[in-house]
Structure formats: structure tokens, C-alpha cells
Amino acid sequence: MKEKAKDFAEKAHHGQKRKNSDVPYITHPIRVAKRLERAGFSEELICAGYLHDVVEDTIYEIEDIQKNFGSRVAELVAAHTEDKSKSWQERKLHTIDTIKHAEKEVKFLIVADKLDNLLGLEIDLKEQGDVVWEKFNAGIDKQKWYNQSIAKYMYHGIDKKDTPDYFVEFEEAVQRVFH
């Protein structure tokens, strides 16, 4: 099922590029899924890693995920998907609320995604400087607030022993990028 999810995501994101680069977008979901796989998580969560941006950023809908990958993968993807009809602030507040109250697998998916985004941002900042911030819907102050909020609430409701190592990696990346 993992290979099917990867193939589906590759087709869905075909032609899309990462922000601030000419890198194919699919590199991001692949890294997220691989991080979840290295952490030893379920096949459903790994599939959700591949598919986490499909509903948000392509023509596909959550029903397509459910039909092809089942209810559990669709639930995980749906919990992570932002409603693009809402403002940046509304979407980020929803994600922060989700990270506070969601089940741990949803938290694992969100943090794996946000970590990969932040590590990419860190590289872009080193290579391109502060001009990178101009391509975002919200500037550095709002990005700092958002990422610090994720770091603050990601442990909420789960035992520290159940958290993957990359949670600490996320906290460290937030510190480096936003000092």
C-alpha cells in the first residue's frame, strides 16, 4: 500500500514545485513518509505521509483517498488538511488547535510535515537570505509564532516516551530558524 500511496502522490503533485525552488514538490511528501517509516509507525500513517498534501494542493478530494487507501488513511489526511478558503491566520489557528487535541498519530504526521518544511526553510535562508520571507503569506513574526506554537503544544496529551525523536529535532529547528 505504501508504494501505491507514493505513486498516487507523485501523480497528484506532478508539475508542482517547492516554494523558493525548482525542486519537484513530491520530494517533500516522500521525506515526510520516510521520516514516519524510520520512526516505526504504521503503514496507514506512512501512507498519510505521502498523501498529506494531496487534498489541500491538488484536484483530488478526501473521498479519493478513502476509496484508494481506506478510512484510516483518509482520517489521518483529513485531520491534517487545511481549508484553503480560510485566511492564513484561521488555517494556522486550526492546526494549532488540532496539535493540542488530536490523537497522537495525527500529531506525528503534523510534526513530521512541519519539521520537513522548517528544515527546507532553514536551507533556503542560508542560500538566499531574508528574501525568502517575501514568498510566504505571512512574514517572519507570524511564522515564528506558528512554529513556536506547534512546538509548545505537540506534546500535549501524549506521554513523552511515546514521542518520536524528531519532535526534539523540530524544537531545535524552531530555535535555530527563529532564534
The catalytic site residues sit at: 56-57
- Name the residue with cell 494549532: 96
In contact, 98 and 110? CB cutoff 8 Å: yes
- Name the residue with cell 530558524: 177
- Cell digits of residue 95: 492546526
Closest CA to 170 of 115, 122, 116: 115
CA distance 26 to 5: 12
- Would you call 136 helix, strand, or coil by DSSP? coil
C-alpha torsion sign, points 107, 109, 114, 115? positive
Is 137 buried (19+), middle (13-18) or exposed (0-12) by CB count in 10 A?
A: exposed
- Cell digits of residue 84: 484553503
